A and B are shown apart, each in its own frame.
Chain A
């Protein structure tokens, strides 16, 4: 009953005209960036983050979360019509979605993707609503050693699943920790890694690194080639976007399975929606009466991965909001956004900021309804966005990136740093270093160092405090297992296969 009461209070927040407006803007922008290949929600949220500083934190987080889950809806459009995933999470949708489109069932495929996204998005929010409060209460017993162990486990999971090479993912994470350590030391106020530059005393703003590595790195990578895909005809009219009764019936298990699998995988740091959609597709194929037809254009092959990648969002919000541990690059940027607004996601978030938490949860219900309404009749319109020439789109991204960074500090030094991190992001793409561990290392670097040093202060320098407490010892043990596991050939070949099929 307490949950219902809190949710109703959340709806009072989410349904104010002001928050409804920002929720709509968020899901609309999310759908647009989801449709556009080469521009992801992480880059978009990073670019728009500076512009939200004048908004109330609740409205801002409602909008940014809308971009996050809205992009999952939009990502399927290009997968189905172009065989090019708008988002990495929509890769699996290409397999059957594009084949359906080639058979003249593009409308049905788009409709199933939208319905599945709606069902799964709603299931994900219900899961978030039910699991987050008890998990937060449990996490209240955590002290510095547990937090250090939890962050280590989160980073280990992200490193495990971020790229084909575990070593490269670890190296990227360590560089993130180094960048986080730049500036003034938390405890002694001495300067570290500032290269004698006064501009570096406050460290490097997270926004600069996020925009540089995600947005500019992505754009520079996309600007290498000028080729574009061949789009299949977009069906017009709502009737052509509705799947048949037989298709819906065939998808009923896939809707549910994708929703549950996606949510559960979303709760795990590092797994992410790409892995969720891949696993959900695999399960659907394994339990199907006609597995041989998968890949030839079966509706379940669209419903399951689309469901999984949408409910994953609700799952990913659980560790972010209750433990302050992001599980992906996008949630890491959301965490940074919370910190910039003076909020600290963690066990006290729900009790200290009930308006924000329950307002966000309620807005996700509202946002999912908005997305269904937007996506079914307006898909032909969104598909027209793909006709926007890249020679117009990419300069606009450069411009928004510059303005975003400059508007935070008014410093040209930061804009130069943006160029530097853009080059780093591009180099990482070319050399196959995953960006997510770097961003997570950057976000968790400060709190992780603080937790470690506080733990050792508590024990007067005795490192055994980290393993003498049951929760902390268990999490550190799991982190070590996660990192050691790929050293065994069989486990690593499974991991690499999963990442290759999901990437």
Chain B
């Protein structure tokens, strides 16, 4: 089949999607497939669930086949290991920001939008972009204030309020 080759990441994500497809089929099998007046709620999900499983297994199978054909592949030299480490660092960067974003959401109820968002901004500026703390505090305060002026004040859009009333 004429397809681009798949890597380990593709195979792992496809395996997860195959699991998702299996879950969809299993869930859908509990609902009516055909009712007296036509297809039931299980009809459509069963088919896209099956398609998800089949296509995901094609990706996994193609990867396994390629590994079996090529053996373990070329050895990982120093340059390759260095590039992989740099790539990992980049991913950790992004995941750290995502985690901080998720924590700031958890803090919305307690601290309110202004403070939670200010802390998120401070984290991004000071720790991710490594700017001086004074700059980080100024940016965090400035953007929080800007959001307050634009949304609740100018546009009357309600923002989450915390225990401090802001």
Contacts and interface: CB of A to CB of B under 8 A. Distances in A.
Contacts of B20: 175, 178
A450 B2 CA distance: 34
Interface size class of A (residues with CB under 8 A): 35 or more
A412 B32 CA distance: 33
A453 interface: yes
A492 B2 contact: yes
Interface in B146-166: 147, 151, 155, 157-160
Contacts of A193: 24, 27, 45
Given A185-B31, A488-B2, 9 more contacts: A171-B56, A178-B45, A192-B27, A192-B41, A399-B147, A403-B113, A407-B158, A454-B38, A461-B34
Interface string A377-407: 0000000000001111011101100110011
Given A170-B51, A422-B101, A486-B2, A224 B91 contact: yes
Contacts of B6: 165
Of listed A164, A190, A410, residue having the most chain B CB within 10 A: A190
A152 to B, nearest CB: 12
A158 B136 CA distance: 42
B158 A461 contact: no
A427 interface: yes
B137 interface: no
A100 interface: no
Interface of A: 51, 164-168, 170-171, 174-175, 177-178, 181, 185, 187-188, 190, 192-193, 216, 220-221, 223-226, 389-392, 394-396, 398-399, 402-403, 406-407, 410, 412, 415-416, 418-419, 422-423, 426-427, 430-433, 449, 452-454, 456-457, 460-461, 486-489, 491-493, 496
Contacts of A452: 39, 43-44
Nearest to A454: B38
Interface in B109-133: 109, 113, 117, 120-121, 124-125, 128-129, 131
Given A167-B3, A403-B151, A223 B94 contact: yes
Contacts of A190: 31, 41
Given A190-B31, A415-B105, A486-B2, A223 B45 contact: no
6 contacts: A171-B56, A390-B129, A394-B124, A395-B121, A403-B113, A453-B38
B40 interface: yes
A433 B14 CA distance: 11
A459 to B, nearest CB: 9
Contact of A224 (B32, B39, B44, B93): B93
A165 B125 contact: no
Given A187-B41, A221-B94, A452-B39, A395 B125 contact: yes
A167 B55 contact: yes
A389 B155 CA distance: 26
A413 B100 CA distance: 17
A121 B125 CA distance: 39
Interface of B: 1-4, 6, 9-10, 13-14, 17, 20-21, 24, 27, 31-32, 34-35, 37-41, 43-45, 48-49, 51-52, 55-56, 58-59, 90-91, 93-94, 97-98, 101-102, 105, 108-109, 113, 117, 120-121, 124-125, 128-129, 131, 139-140, 143, 147, 151, 155, 157-160
Contacts of B59: 167-168, 171
Contact of B39 (A170, A423, A453, A489): A453
Nearest to B125: A391
B55 A171 contact: yes
